[in-house]
Structure 1
């Protein structure tokens, strides 16, 4: 089967920023290792779909739509198509019907391995058609895969309704005992209403920190702690000041291309900049520009700490 490899130099540049991504104890997929030629983004660059962008070396930003935190459901109602309420449909997968879309697959990589623990171990957020079906495989080294389950649409149900997100959960118990670094989803059905689009791949387990090092590693530091040392202080303020007025939003005239070594690696939106790992830590509100709004948010948490060994510090993982 012909696959389109995404490991270009530009992708390596981006992945070096994104690997090992824990956010609030959740382990998210870090890299799209490979995919077949008909994997495409759903949105058309603004909202809605289907879009024309296939995941390829020519449009590398689309490869990040299945990485990092789930982001197709901005208002948390598990529906990805509330465009009038601000949702942006950041998903990628395959459409139904045509034989040209048969035998599609996508493989994602976790820098921090998924583990076999009690209950579910892997969660894939997606939407699909009622006739959709795919098999899910895992591997530790990309050389051999073990099947851990299937995703299947249902008539008049979820999954099976376009745009209604579903969390498919998979338990590795008695199926795979090695640390899981690779997850592959393979299309089993090509027919009308058998499309399937993915929002995110993540661990089912949440890591809670016991030490300062674990707070940092598992992503429990607050956004105002820009240097991730568990203390929001003058050092963080200096980093904010150093980044003042820098703009990484590719949709504005003030956009700075400084961190993007290859023009083909530049994402098409601020969201894509963050998904690709190019966001500035001083950009507290994540709008790709460091300005007065970030300073206001910083002031709200100035001198706040998240060090577990300090009784006077807050413990956001217990809230």
Structure 2
């Protein structure tokens, strides 16, 4: 069931400190998004291919979605993995529950939310064993998404007393026109729509032939992860930013051309591997 736009599950995790190196991997503008290998604590390298961002997953490895609010105001991130909302388990849509972050706050989302106190850990697995495939929704396996919403601005209090100058009283723009009233907001909305169109076009293109089965995200062991509830009124029905990070195995990303193969690590075949040289019988060592 979809939740009302203003009432949602909010992050109540302790704010942490991002690794300095994480900024080199983060994707996004309003939110910095990394995918963290929980076994090493390091962010996974991000590769740009066309209009898409990619990471290479390791089958069996647990991971976390690390998010950092890069703005000075509260924002909400509606998060999906494999086309499934990570809080509710519904097929993902923008108007669903999300996580709220205070200004500059960062947190790690480590699994599918099971209650206010627990999640089922994210881990890379083969596509048929992914949570989405096991619940009959395999079509969008292989992508992590965050739809970012700004909070609706509160109107300023009305002037008090008769001394307020009439020229200072300005009529507030109609609801829904706040973004259009700002040239910067118009540019931002146009940019978001262009990025969204590019991603949609890329997603509809057929993938090249793969070297191994696709990866998905499994429904792992339960672990503690507390949250609380808050109210958040979105500034607009559409997100101000949509972040998508696609993933697959390292082998598949090499086969697709996302990652260049490291030929230095590949053994070079030899026609006569047991022939050290093509010369004649060497002399014995000199007498001493």
With normalisation by structure 1, the TM-score equals 0.28
Larger Rg: 2
Q: Report the structure, 1 or 2, having the larger strand content.
A: 2
Could you state the TM-score of these two structures normalised by the residue count of structure 2?
A: 0.30
